[in-house]
Amino acid sequence: EGADLVVLRPDGTTVATEQRGFTQQPLGFDAQGLIYLTLECPSDTVQSYALRRRTPRGSIETLLTGSTASTIGVALMRDNTLLYVREPLSHDQTTQRGSQLWRMALDDRARSQVYAASGNITEIAGVLGAAE
pLDDT tens-digit series, residues 47-106: 888 889 999 999 999 988 888 878 777 888 877 888 888 887 765 455 556 888 988 888
Cα 39 from Cα 13, distance rounded (Å) = 25
Question: If DSSP states are collapsed to H, E and C, what string results for the chain?
Answer: CCECEEEECCCCCEEEEECCCCEEEEEEEECCEEEEEEECCCCCCCEEEEEEEECCCCCEEEEEEEEECEEEEEEEEECCEEEEEEEECCCCCCCCCCCEEEEEECCCCCEEEEEECCCCCCCCCCCHHHHC
Confidence of residue 132 (pLDDT cuts 50, 70, 90): very low
pLDDT for 128 beyond 70: no
pLDDT tens-digit series, residues 104-127: 888 777 889 999 998 888 888 655
- What average pLDDT does range 15-28 have in this prediction? 86
pTM of the model: 0.73
Name the residue type at position 84.
Y
pLDDT for 5 beyond 70: yes
